[in-house]
Structure 1
C-alpha cells in the first residue's frame, strides 16, 4: 500500500500529460505537487512544519532552472536580433548542406562538448535554437537534442555527477575510477544506437543509411576519446571527448567524408559564405561561453572556489548572502531543510548574461534591441515558471522522510521484487531519479546509497551497479521534466510536454535494455 500511494502522484502526472486531451505542464505539475503534498501529510503522516519547509524550498529552487533558461533564451534572442544567428546558419550550411552532417555536428558533437563543460541543460538550450535556425522543425529538434544529450551526461559539468554525485559514499579512488570505466563502456556501446534513433525524427532511414559512414565516425570521434579518458580520469571525458569529436566532425563534414555525395557537394556552390569578420562575430559568443565555463568549473583553478564562497557578507532575517552572492536560507522554519542559490556559479549570469554584456557592443546592439531581447525572454518564461515550480515542489516533498520517503519506498519495492537480478533494472532507478529531480547529479546523490546497499546485500560488484546507476541517471536526462520544459520554452513550443515524454520514453527504454544486457554481460564476466 505504501508503494501504491508513493507512486500515485507520478502515475497521475504521467497520465494527465499523455492522455487524449492532455493537461499542459503548467497545470499538471502544480496539481501533481498538490497531490504529493496531500499524500505525504495524510497518508505518510509527514511532519507538517517540515512539509511546509520543503514546499518553500521547492518553490525557491525554481530560481536555478529558470535563470538558466532565461540566460539561454536571452543569448538566443540577441543572436537572432543582431543577425549573428543568420551568419552562423550560412557558415554551417557552407560546411555541409547535408542535414545529417548538420544534425551530427551541432546536435551531437557540439552538444557533447557543451555538456562536458556545463551540464544544467545548457547543450539543448544552445544547440536546439541553432538547428531550428537552420530550418529544422522545432518539435523534432527538441526531441533530438534531448535524446542526444544523454551519453555525455555521466561526466557532464566537468564530471560533477561522477565525482560529486557519489561523494557521500566515500568511495576509494580506485573504486571510483572503476565506476567511471564501466560507465564509459556502457555509454560507448549505447552510443551506436541512441544517436541513430534521435536522427530518425528529422531524416529518413534511407538518409541515415546513405550517410552511415559519417554518422559512425562522428559518434566514434566523440566516444572513443571519451572512453579512453575515463580510464584515467572522471572529470574530463565528456569535455575533451566532445571537443575532439567536434573538430573531427567538422573536418569530415567539410571534406564530405562518409556523406552522400549528391547531398554534400553539388549544393555547396550555391551557398554564399559569410565574411570572416561576420563569422568571428557569430562564433565569438560560443567561444566565450566555453572559455568562461571552463575557467569557472575546473576544480584545481581558484575561480570555482571564489564563485562558491559561502563566507557571510550580509544577512536579512533568516536569509544569508555570501561574498560570492550565494543566497541561502538555512534551517527553513526551524527545520533541517535548507535552500541556496549560487547566483554567480549557476550558468545564468555567468556565462549567459556576461556573454551578452560583452557581445552587445561587438554586435552593435542598441538599447532598444537589448530591451526587445529581454522582453521576448520574459514572454517565453511565464508558463515554464509555474511548471518548474510544480515539478520542484513535488520532488522536494516526495524526497522528505529520508529512508521512509516516497522515493525510497518506490526504490526499496523495486529492489525487493527483483533481488539478485537487480542489474537488469538498476539503470531504471537512476533514470527515475533524474526524471524526478532534473539532475543526474541529484539522482546519484539520492540513489547511490541504496544502489550500494543492494549491491552489497546481493553480492553484486559495487562498481558495476554504481555504473548502471550513473548510466541510468544520464539516460533519464531525456525524459527529465525540467529539460523538456526548458527546451520547449526556448524553442517556443507550447502544450507539447506530454507528447514529448511519450516520444523520449521510447529511446529511454532502448537505452535501458542496452544497459541491462551490458550490465549482465559484465557481471557474468566478473563473477
Structure 2
C-alpha cells in the first residue's frame, strides 16, 4: 500500500498542522518538567501518543506507524543500548577489581581539586571518546568515572552532558558533518570550515560554562588559568584542522592535545585553594597510599586499551575490512514500512523514503567497548564467573534506561516516517527573514526529536540549504547553523538524558536532569544565535563561498 507524506494535512495549513502534531513533544516536556514523571514512563506514553496523532492527522496507516516505532525501538537497543551496556559494564569491572581506587589516587596526584578533575575527565577525555565513538559512550563513561571519584551523580550527569558539546559535530570520525555534506551536496571541507569556525568559539566557552554550573563564578575565577588552557589548547588545533584538513580528526586530535596540555600545565601551576566536596578529607592526599607507576598503568589499562581499540575501530580501513566481510545484520526492507513516499518541498519529485535496518555488530562502538571489557578480564585477572555476575548486575541497573531509549527512538522514527519532523521544519520557513534566528533552533529541535546530530543533519540539512537560497542568504550559514544549534540540543535530547541517567544510576530521575539541562541548553543556544547573526550581518566574509 502506497502512502504519501502530507506536511500540511490540516486545511493545507502548515503552521496549524505543526502545532497539532507537536502535541507529543509538548506532552514529553510537560511530563518531565511539570509532572516529574519517570523517564521510561514519559517516553513510552509519548510514543503511544505520537502514533495516535500521526494516524489521525496524517492518515498514516496504523501498521506503518507501528512498524516505524518498532524500527526505532530496535535501533534504540542495537546499537545505542549495546553501547551503554558495554560502557557501564567496563566501568563496573574496574570497580569490582578494586583498581578504580588506584585510578582515583592517580587523578588526585595530578590535582585533588574537583574542578580540575572535571576538566580532565568530563571535557578532554570525554571529547576523545566522542571523536572516536560517540553515540552516548563519552557521557556514559565520563559520568561513571566522576561518580567513582565521589561526585554527586546528578551533578556528574549534567556536567558531562554540557562538556560533550564541542566534539559532537566531528565525532565519531566526522560522521555528522559528512552526513550534512551528503544530503546538501556541498563540499565537505567548506561545511567543515563553516561549522569549525562557529564551534571553535563554543569550545572555549564550554569549559568556563562547565565551571560556572559546577561551582559558580567566584570559584571558577580561581581556576581560570587551567580552564583557559583546557579550552584554548582544544580550540586552536580544532580550528586549524577544520579549516585545512577535514571533518574526521578535529575532535580526536584536539582532545588529546587538550589533555596533555592541561596535565603539563599542572606541573607548573596549582590553584591557590583546593576545591573539595564536604565529605572529602583535606589530608586525603597525604594519607593516601602511594602506588607505583606499574600499578597505576595496570589500573588505567582498561581505558588505555579502550582508546587504542576505539581508534582502530574508527579508521576507514578497519571499517572497510569488516564491511567487506559482511559481518552485520541487514534488513534491506523493514517489514511493513515499504512504499512510504516523501513529497515536495522536501524533494522535487515524490521519492521513496527508504526503510531498512543495519547493525554492524562487529564494527559498532559498543562491540569495541565490549572487546575492551573482555581484554580487561585478563589484564585485571577477573574470573569469568565474576564477570558474568557483574554483567547481569549491569543489565539490571540499566533496564529502565533501555526502555527509555527504545521508546524515544521509537518516537523519533514515527516522527520521521510520518512526516511530523518535516512539518515542524517547514513551519519555520514561514518566519521569512527571521529564519536566520530560527535556523539553529531547527537543528536544536532536530536533535531533541532524534537524539542525534547526524539525524538532524539528514532531516533538515537540505531544507536549510533550500530556504537560505530562497531568502538570498549564503546556504553555508544556515547549513552550519543547523549543526551548531543541534549540538546544544544534545543537552535536552531524551536519548542523551537517558544515557546519562543510566550511567549515573539515576534511572527514573530523568526529569531532574531535563529540568536542569533545559536552561543551560537555552543559554547556549542563545550564544549560538548571536554567533550566527554576527556572521550573517557583521562578518559575512568569514564564510566560504559556494
One fold, TM greater than 0.5? yes
Distance 2:266 2:492 in 1: 30
- Aligned equivalent of 1:452: 465
Which residue in 2 is equivalent to 1:316?
none
Contact 2:121 / 2:146 at 8 angstroms: preserved in 1? yes
Measured against aligned partners, the alpha-carbon deviations of 1:220-270 in whole angstroms (never above 9, x if no partner) come to: 11111111111112211111000111111111223335x335669997544
Report the 3-state secondary structure (helix = DSSP H, G, I; strand = E; otherwise coil) of the residue aligned with 2:112.
coil
Q: How far is the alpha carbon of 1:324 from its aligned partner?
A: 0.8
1:160 aligns with 2:180: no
Unmatched segments (≥5 aa) in structure 1: 312-322
Within the candidate set 385, 388, 399, 1:382 is matched to 399
The Cα shift of 1:217 comes to: 1.2
Distance 1:42 1:123, change over 3 A: same
Closer/same/farther in 2, CA of residues 284 and 470 from structure 1, 3 Å limit? same
- Who is 2:102 aligned against? 87
CA contact (8 A) 2:207 2:230 kept: no
Alpha-carbon displacement from aligned partner over 1:327-357 (angstroms, at most 9, x marks no partner): 43524236152222221122112x1111111
1:372 aligns with 2:372: no
Q: Normalising to structure 1: TM-score of the pair?
A: 0.91
- State the partner residue of 2:342: none
1:66 shift after superposition: 0.9
Tell me, in whole angstroms, the C-alpha distance in 2 between the residues paired with 1:125 and 1:378. 14
Is structure 2 residue 438 aligned with structure 1 residue 425?
yes
Per the TM alignment, residue 483 of structure 1 is displaced from its structure 2 partner at its CA by 1.4
1:5 to 1:263, Cα distance in 2 relative to 1, 3 A: closer
Conserved? CA contact 1:306–1:324, under 8 Å? no
Aligned with residue 338 of structure 1, among 356, 361, 369: 356
CA contact (8 A) 1:96 1:268 kept: no
| Partners of 1:464 and 1:523 within 8 A in 2 | yes
Contact 2:112–2:274 (Cα < 8 Å) also in 1: no
2:447 corresponds to 1:434: yes
- Aligned-partner Cα distance in 2 for 1:428–1:307: 37
Match of residue 301 from structure 2: 284
Report if the CA contact (8 A) 1:327-1:343 is conserved: no
Change (3 A) 1:100 1:276: same
Alignment TM-score, normalising by the size of structure 2: 0.88
1:209 corresponds to which residue?
221
Equivalent residue, structure 2, for 1:317: none
Q: Which of 100, 122, 135 matches 2:115?
A: 100
What are the residue-to-residue correspondences of 1:120-159 with 2, within 5 Å? 120-159=135-174
Partners of 2:65 and 2:90 in 1: how far apart?
37
Shift of 1:306: 2.5
Indicate which of 368, 376, 379 corresponds to 1:359: 376
Structure 1 residue 326 displacement after superposition:
2.7
Please, which runs of 5 or more residues in structure 2 have no aligned partner? 1-15, 277-281, 339-353, 542-546
Secondary structure at 1:136 match in 2: coil
State the SS of the aligned residue for 1:157: coil
Q: Secondary structure at the match of 1:515?
A: helix
**Aligned partner (choices 469, 493, 499) of residue 506 of structure 2:** 493
Measure how far apart 1:101 and its partner are. 0.9
Q: 1:39 aligns with which of 39, 53, 56?
A: 53
Q: Could you tell me which residue of structure 2 aligns to residue 187 of structure 1?
A: 199
Does 2:493 correspond to 1:480?
Answer: yes
Secondary structure of the corresponding residue to residue 340 of structure 1: strand
Q: State the shift of 1:399 in Å.
A: 0.9
Secondary structure at the counterpart of residue 450 of structure 1: helix
Q: Cα offset for 1:55?
A: 2.1
Aligned position for 2:249: 236
Contact 1:6 1:407 in 2 (8 A): no
CA separation in 2, counterparts of 1:463 and 1:334? Answer: 34
Q: Is the 8 A contact 2:180 2:457 kept in 1?
A: yes
Deviation string, structure 1 residues 470-516 (Cα, Å, up to 9, x no partner): 11122211111111111111121132211211211122112211111
